[in-house]
Amino acid sequence: MSWFLGIEIGGTKLQIAVGRGEGEPCRGFWRGDIDAAQRASRIHQQIIAGAGELLAQARLTRDQIAGVGIGFGGPVNTAHGRVVTSHQVDGWDNFPLVAWFAEHLGWPAVLHNDADTAAYAEAHFGAGRGFDPVLYVTVGSGIGGGLIVTGKIFRGSGAGAMEIGHLRPGLAPLGAPPHASVEEISSGFGIEERARKLIAESRNGTRAGAMLLELAGGDRNRVTTRMIAQAAAKGDASCREMLESATETLGWALAQAIALVNPARIVIGGGVSLIGEEQFFEPVRRACRESVFKPFAGIAEIVPAALGEEVVIHGALALARAEFQKY
Q: Tell me the percentage of the chain whose pLDDT exceeds 70.
A: 97
- 97 and 70 in contact (C-beta within 8 Å)? yes
The DSSP code for 233 is H
What is the model's pLDDT at position 299?
A: 96
Q: Where are the beta strands (DSSP E) in 58-166?
A: 65-72, 76-77, 82-83, 109-113, 134-139, 143-149, 152-153
The DSSP code for 173 is P
Sign of the torsion angle spanned by Cα atoms 247, 278, 120, 65: positive
34-64 pLDDT, tens digit per residue, is: 888 889 999 999 999 999 999 999 999 999 9
299-310 pLDDT, tens digit per residue, is: 999 999 999 989
Which of these ranges, 46-55, 128-137, 183-192, 233-242, has the smallest mean pLDDT? Answer: 233-242
Displacement of CA 132 from its chain's centroid (Å): 21
**Whole-number Å distance between alpha carbons of 261 and 258:** 5
pLDDT band of residue 174 (cuts 50, 70, 90) is low
Task: Inform me whether the pLDDT recorded for 205 exceeds 50.
Answer: no
**Whole-number Å distance between alpha carbons of 58 and 52:** 10
Residue 303: which residues within 8 A CB-CB, separation 6 or more?
A: 127, 265, 266, 267, 268
Burial class, 221, CB count within 10 angstroms (exposed 0-12 / middle 13-18 / buried 19+): exposed
Could you give the domains of the chain? 3-119+309-324 (3.30.420.40), 130-170+244-306 (3.30.420.40), 188-242 (no CATH)
135-154 pLDDT, tens digit per residue, is: 999 998 889 999 999 999 99
Sign of the torsion angle spanned by Cα atoms 42, 43, 47, 53: positive
- 213 and 230 in contact (C-beta within 8 Å)? no
Of 110, 173, 170, 113, the C-alpha closest to 143 is 113
